[in-house]
């Protein structure tokens, strides 16, 4: 794939390799990490507009950022145009440069609430939500799927609606809602959507190596790719794809994440986040099962740091 700058509305990103919003992982420290590795942009974890409206403390924590984050992108989840409009213009989102609307989450409780991928079944409401968020004056992107079921996919039609409603970019996960997170991506559906609109189309889903990213780009003609779970296992994928120099080891990355996270969040959050991140990073190392048990038994940051040194220097 060709690595190049990516324009979203008035924003110019340094690369067209993006990091997906991932619940429990794309907190502020991780976003800084992947940007340093070459990612053009990394979104916050999914933020519920309803929870934000009622000033839920845990939800507000998801919005933590500083001026060190060069371009700030928040992903909003919601099904009410009025609430989405209110939250998009709220002081809580003032620091953010871009609003991404979640129209792809497939999990049952979100779908039943007529949010996430359920919005693909109600294009008038989805359009109203995009228009409502555009009133914030910020660029707006949409993340969706190829459709609801494999036998009825309509990514191109949905992409045209998004563009007509004012969206500045659309990211398409190459699986239907019924596929959840398994199965080969439908490259052809993303390609049809790309051909149907003039705004940038980003391809997502099933990328677990640099080779997968190249195949995704070539088979879809997309303007860029978005990497999700594989970046937790191997954040160096961004450096590899964008040719961004990086001589940091996996251990150094984790220790840097630990130090940064504890300055931004409390010890409980830091322990939970680092344990999950380390679990992904140690997937292909010897003695993973044994180390994971020890990892989740750690009760302090000092104990965790010592164990990380053992795990990531043990060949």
Query: Could you give the residue numbers annotated as active site?
Result: 105
Q: Give φ, ψ of 43 to 5 degrees.
A: -90, 155
The residue among 7, 83, 66 whose CA lies nearest residue 31 is 66
With H, G, I as helix, E, B as strand and everything else as coil, classify residue 272: helix
CA distances from 177 to 67, 104, 186, 251 (A): 36, 7, 12, 36
Identify any residues that bridge with 42 across adjacent strands, giving them in sequence order: 19
Q: What is the 3-state secondary structure (H, E, C) of 112-176?
A: HCCCHHHHHHCHHHHHHHHHHHHCCCCCEEEEEECEEECCEECHHHHHHHHHHCCCCEEEEECCC
Q: Max CA-CA distance within the chain?
A: 55
With H, G, I as helix, E, B as strand and everything else as coil, classify residue 76: strand
């Amino acid at each position: 794939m060709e690595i190049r700058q990516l324009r979203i509305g008035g924003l110019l990103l340094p690369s067209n390799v993006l990091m997906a919003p991932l619940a429990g992982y794309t907190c502020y420290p991780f976003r800084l990490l992947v940007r340093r590795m070459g990612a053009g942009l990394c979104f916050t974890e999914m933020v519920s507009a309803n929870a934000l409206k009622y000033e839920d403390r845990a939800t507000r924590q998801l919005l933590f950022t500083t001026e060190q984050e060069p371009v700030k992108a928040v992903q909003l989840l919601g099904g009410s145009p009025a609430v989405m409009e209110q939250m998009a213009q709220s002081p809580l989102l003032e620091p953010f440069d871009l609003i991404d609307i979640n129209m792809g989450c497939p999990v049952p409780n979100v779908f039943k609430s007529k949010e996430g991928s359920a919005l693909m079944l109600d294009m008038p409401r989805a359009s109203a939500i995009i228009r409502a968020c555009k009133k914030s004056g910020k660029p707006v992107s949409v993340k969706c799927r190829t459709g609801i079921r494999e036998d009825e996919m309509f990514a191109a039609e949905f992409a045209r609606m998004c563009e007509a409603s004012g969206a500045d970019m659309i990211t398409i996960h190459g699986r239907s809602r019924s596929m959840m997170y398994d199965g080969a991506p439908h490259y052809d559906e993303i390609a049809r959507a790309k051909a149907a609109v003039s705004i940038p189309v980003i391809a997502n889903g099933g990328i677990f190596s640099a080779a997968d990213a190249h195949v995704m780009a070539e088979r879809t003609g997309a303007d860029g790719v978005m990497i999700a779970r594989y970046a937790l296992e191997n954040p160096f994928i961004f450096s590899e794809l964008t040719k961004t120099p990086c001589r940091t080891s996996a251990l150094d990355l984790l220790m840097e994440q630990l130090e940064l996270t504890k300055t931004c969040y409390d010890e409980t959050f830091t322990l939970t986040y680092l344990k999950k991140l380390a679990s992904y990073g140690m997937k292909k190392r010897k003695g993973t099962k044994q180390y994971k048990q020890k990892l989740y038994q750690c009760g302090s940051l000092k104990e965790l740091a010592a164990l990380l040194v053992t795990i990531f220097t043990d060949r």
